[in-house]
Amino acid sequence: MSWLRPVAKNALKYGPHAQQVWKHAGRPAREAAQKAVADWSSRRTALEHADTVIDGSLLSVMHEGRRVWVVFSGDDPIASYPAVSTVEGSG
């Protein structure tokens, strides 16, 4: 096992540094990954909904700093993913 000795040596040498990096960057990295998964999931759900309506289409808009997918039936918006209470400019 020629790789075991260098791995052990580097683990001892850089292990404390890696632990400190993970301590400070772990939470932001996890939150960014969760946000990316939530955005992808919202898009997928909106696409599935748009496939079930007559003349369904999809539009990506920014609402309060996050991406929202709006599902249309013809020219009428019928749903948004993730759900938002109000959309500015509607009326």
Residue 88 falls inside a structural domain: no
* Global confidence as pTM: 0.64
Residue 87 falls inside a structural domain: no
Residue 67 falls inside a structural domain: yes
Residue 86 falls inside a structural domain: no
Owning domain of residue 9 = 4-81
Residue 22 falls inside a structural domain: yes
The total number of structural domains in the chain stands at 1
Could you read off the pLDDT of 6-44 as tens digits, one per residue?
888 888 888 888 888 888 888 899 999 999 999 999 999
Question: What Cα–Cα distance (Å) separates residue 50 from each residue in 40, 63, 78, 80?
Answer: 15, 20, 10, 11
Could you read off the pLDDT of 42-53 as tens digits, one per residue?
999 999 999 999
Strand partners, 56: 73
Residue 91 falls inside a structural domain: no
Closest alpha carbon to 82 in 91, 70, 73, 65: 70
